């Protein structure tokens, strides 16, 4: 029987479609992307923020191309191909982009080694609503403003932005109420949500909704969904 | 001076020319035209291609547009290079033109319409017209049933040798498969023919973009 998740809208839409159109030309760096995936959006946002030249290739998670699997056997997105070799893991990729393109601004990680290590250890995972509010409150407390480390948009903002962009789904379906968080969270979230690189990598809501409906009904069959159900670490 | 191909990295009509250039081992220089910035509508472009469409070629001063015309020109000029793609015998030419016309009338309008509605419209800020897409798909389906009959009697569309007419089908066929619309696999002769033409080295070389 065909996996229902296979029926994903195959391509990016809305603003993201235009961004895809702008990245068709062959480049040294190929970005293998799943348009709907929040982990994927972290890397996409980093690429857009830093203006790194990339060729965009859509990967259907249930129909992966041979070349993609040849260089990236785990077959997960996001992934990057550079000179025939692949890298994956969203935060590893974000950090790679930082190091490989040091002259592309903005820097998303502090240059100072201590600050850099501190930024890399501050990640927020999804949690139950109160845990989520607690987590967001703690995060918001550490936001120096306007962004996490202060004036400059950085990697912690990139890491959190895709989830902020999906908060409306929690609001509509899980009673999430951003005003309950306090500590300046709503304002911080608003700044992330309106960041140009987030807008440019977001597809139409109705297409995203099809995917998240499956998560809301706990019917999703992605590796992430299975891991969440089993209480395993995310792939 | 090397032949210049003006086009867009992943444009269907640009790739139609590129696959033939590869098949005939013709060197070329690719000059990108940024459709997303409207470069194809700018005077510097329309001076050469008045319809504002990609691709066009500049072969030592000869400017040529319309991808299928460019392909015929390459196939004729370089007849002795690479794979023969254009016959010279009058009967064979006629059967070739029949196959080429089939692609133009019984394939292209449906596949290009579907590619627009389901993929390219979004690149230019548009939205899918679901009703139009549905109608095009059922029309395409009916046409491919006929393709299956034809390809049950002969290996390629003009006979038992490959010609430009077969290659013309590649770019839009690939776009539709890319977006999950597979009207080939369920038709055994079409599937066999598609596998044959789409696994050629020339197509592998260009299908991801120039």
Q: pLDDT tens digit string along A16-39?
A: 999 999 999 999 999 999 999 888
Task: Note if A37 is an active site residue.
Answer: yes
Q: Please give the full DSSP string across B136-158, using - where no structure is assigned.
A: HHHHHHHHHHHHHHHHHHSSBTT
- When pLDDT is cut at 50, 70 and 90, the band that residue A127 belongs to is very low
- When pLDDT is cut at 50, 70 and 90, the band that residue A223 belongs to is confident
Give chain A's contact residues with B (Cβ, < 8 Å): 10-14, 17-18, 20-22, 24-26, 55, 57-58, 60, 63
Lowest mean pLDDT among A9-23, A122-136, A175-189, B180-194: A122-136
Tokens of A219: 């019917």
ipTM of the complex: 0.70
User: How far apart are alpha carbons A109 and A115 in whole angstroms?
Assistant: 8
Question: What would the pLDDT profile of A107-122 be if each residue is shown by its tens digit?
Answer: 888 888 887 777 666 5
Mutation target vs B (from A7, A25, A60, A71; most B CBs, 10 A cutoff): A25
Tokens of A121: 């250890």
Q: What is the structure's pLDDT at B176?
A: 94
Tokens of A52: 């790194």
Contacts of A20 in chain B (CB under 8 A): 123
Q: What is the structure's pLDDT at B53?
A: 97
User: How far apart are alpha carbons B32 and A147 in whole angstroms?
Assistant: 38
Highest mean pLDDT among A1-15, A115-129, A197-211, B43-57: B43-57
**At B188, phi and psi to the nearest 5?**
-55, -40
| SS3 state at A80 | strand
pLDDT above 80 (res A56): yes
Question: What would the pLDDT profile of A41-53 be if each residue is shown by its tens digit?
Answer: 999 999 999 999 9
Strand order in the sheet with A79-82: A55-58, A29-33, A79-82, A85-88
pLDDT above 70 (res A7): no
Contacts of A15 in chain B (CB under 8 A): none
pLDDT above 90 (res A222): no
Subunit contact B36:A21, Cβ cutoff 8 A: yes
Long-range contacts of B30-37 (CB under 8 A, 24+ apart): B30/B5, B30/B210, B31/B4, B31/B5, B31/B6, B31/B7, B32/A25, B32/B7, B32/B8, B33/B6, B33/B7, B33/B8, B34/B8, B35/A21, B35/B8, B35/B11, B36/A18, B36/A21, B36/A22, B36/B123
Please compute the mean of the pLDDT values over residues A79-83 and round it to a whole number.
Answer: 94
Subunit contact A22:B125, Cβ cutoff 8 A: no
Q: Does B180 touch chain A (CB under 8 A)?
A: yes
Q: What is the structure's pLDDT at A130?
A: 61
Query: Helix, strand, coil: what percent of chain A each, to 5?
Result: 50, 10, 40
Q: Look-up: residue for tokens 């973009």?
A: B209
Q: Which stretches in chain B have pLDDT values below 70?
A: none
Query: Which residues have CB under 8 Å from A69's CB, separation 6+?
Result: A75
Subunit contact B209:A24, Cβ cutoff 8 A: yes
Q: What is the structure's pLDDT at A2?
A: 47
Q: What is the structure's pLDDT at A170?
A: 76
| Chain B residue whose CA is closest to A13 | B122
Q: What is the structure's pLDDT at A128?
A: 53
Question: What would the pLDDT profile of A188-197 be if each residue is shown by its tens digit?
Answer: 999 999 999 9
Residue A46: which of A12, A80, A84 has the closest Cα?
A: A80
Report the residue count for chain B. 210
Query: Which residues have CB under 8 Å from B107's CB, separation 6+?
Result: B140, B143, B147, B169, B172
Contacts of B180 in chain A (CB under 8 A): 10, 60, 63
Q: What is the structure's pLDDT at A60?
A: 80
User: How far apart are alpha carbons B158 and B174 in whole angstroms?
Assistant: 21
Q: What is the structure's pLDDT at A5?
A: 55
Pick B179's closest partner by Cβ from A10, A17, A24.
Answer: A10
Confirm if A34 and A223 have CB atoms less than 8 A apart.
Answer: no
Catalytic residue among A12, A37, A77, A159: A37
Residues of chain A above pLDDT 90, percent: 35
Mutation target vs B (from A2, A12, A14, A17; most B CBs, 10 A cutoff): A17
Confirm if A71 and A46 have CB atoms less than 8 A apart.
Answer: no
Q: Does B10 touch chain A (CB under 8 A)?
A: yes
Task: Output the CA–CA distances (angstroms, integers) from residue B48 to A160, A179, B43, B65, B66, in the order listed.
Answer: 48, 59, 9, 8, 12
Distance from the B77 Cα atom to the nearest Cα atom in chain A, whole angstroms: 29
Q: What is the structure's pLDDT at A123?
A: 44
Contacts of B32 in chain A (CB under 8 A): 25
Please compute the mean of the pLDDT values over residues A63-68 and round it to a whole number.
Answer: 84
Contacts of A55 in chain B (CB under 8 A): 209
Contacts of B210 in chain A (CB under 8 A): 26
Strands B56-59 and B62-65, sheet pairing: antiparallel
Residues of chain A above pLDDT 70, percent: 88
Confirm if A134 and A66 have CB atoms less than 8 A apart.
Answer: no
Tokens of B120: 């390219």
Subunit contact B123:A21, Cβ cutoff 8 A: yes
Pick B180's closest partner by Cβ from A10, A24, A55.
Answer: A10
- Angle between helix axes A155-165 and A113-120 (nearest 10 degrees) is 20
Subunit contact B180:A14, Cβ cutoff 8 A: no
Residue B10: which of B115, B101, B134 has the closest Cα?
A: B115
Q: What is the structure's pLDDT at A131?
A: 66
Report the residue count for chain A. 235
| Chain B residue whose CA is closest to A6 | B180
Contacts of A18 in chain B (CB under 8 A): 36, 122-125
pTM for the full predicted model = 0.78
Pick B125's closest partner by Cβ from A18, A22, A55.
Answer: A18
Pick B179's closest partner by Cβ from A11, A17, A20.
Answer: A11
| Chain A residue whose CA is closest to B8 | A25
Q: What is the structure's pLDDT at A129?
A: 61
**End-to-end Cα, chain B, rounded Å:** 20
| SS3 state at B7 | strand
């Amino acid at each position: 029987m065909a996996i229902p998740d296979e029926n994903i809208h195959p391509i990016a839409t809305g603003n993201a479609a235009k961004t895809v159109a702008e990245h068709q030309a062959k480049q040294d760096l190929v970005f293998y992307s799943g348009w709907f995936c929040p982990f994927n959006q972290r890397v996409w946002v980093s690429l857009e923020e830093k203006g790194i030249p990339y060729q965009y290739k859509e990967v259907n998670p249930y129909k992966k191309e041979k070349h993609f699997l040849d260089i990236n056997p785990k077959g997960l997105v996001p992934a990057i191909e550079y000179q025939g070799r692949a890298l994956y893991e969203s935060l590893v990729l974000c950090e790679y982009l930082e190091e490989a393109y040091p002259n592309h601004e903005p820097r998303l990680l502090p240059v100072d080694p201590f600050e850099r290590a501190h930024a890399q250890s501050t990640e927020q995972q999804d949690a139950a609503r109160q845990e989520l509010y607690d987590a967001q409150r703690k995060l918001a407390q550490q936001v120096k403003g306007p962004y996490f480390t202060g004036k400059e948009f950085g990697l912690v903002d990139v890491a959190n932005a895709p989830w902020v962009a999906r908060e409306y789904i929690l609001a509509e379906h899980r009673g999430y109420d951003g005003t309950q968080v306090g500590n300046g969270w709503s304002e911080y979230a608003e700044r992330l949500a309106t960041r140009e690189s987030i807008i440019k990598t977001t597809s139409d809501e109705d297409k995203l909704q099809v995917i998240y409906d499956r998560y809301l009904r706990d019917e999703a069959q992605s590796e992430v969904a299975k891991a969440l159900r089993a209480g395993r670490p995310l792939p | 001076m090397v032949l210049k191909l003006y086009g867009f990295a992943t444009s269907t009509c640009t790739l139609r020319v590129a696959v033939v250039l590869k098949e005939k081992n013709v060197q070329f220089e690719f000059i990108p035209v940024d459709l997303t910035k409207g470069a194809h509508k700018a005077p510097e472009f329309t001076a050469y291609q008045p319809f504002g469409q990609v691709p066009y070629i500049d072969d030592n001063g000869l400017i040529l547009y319309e991808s299928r015309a460019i392909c015929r020109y390459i196939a004729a000029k370089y007849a002795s290079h690479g794979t023969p793609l254009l016959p010279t015998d009058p009967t064979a030419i006629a059967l070739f033109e029949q196959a080429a016309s089939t692609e133009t009338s019984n394939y292209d309008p449906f596949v290009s319409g579907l590619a627009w509605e389901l993929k390219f419209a979004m690149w230019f800020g548009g939205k899918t017209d679901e009703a139009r897409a549905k109608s095009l798909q059922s029309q395409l389906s009916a046409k491919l049933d006929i393709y299956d009959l034809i390809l049950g009697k002969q290996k390629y569309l003009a006979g038992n040798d490959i010609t430009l007419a077969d290659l013309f089908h590649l770019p839009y066929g690939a776009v539709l498969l890319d977006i999950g619309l597979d009207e080939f696999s369920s038709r055994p002769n079409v599937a066999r023919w598609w596998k044959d033409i789409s696994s050629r080295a020339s197509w592998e070389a260009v299908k991801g973009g120039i």
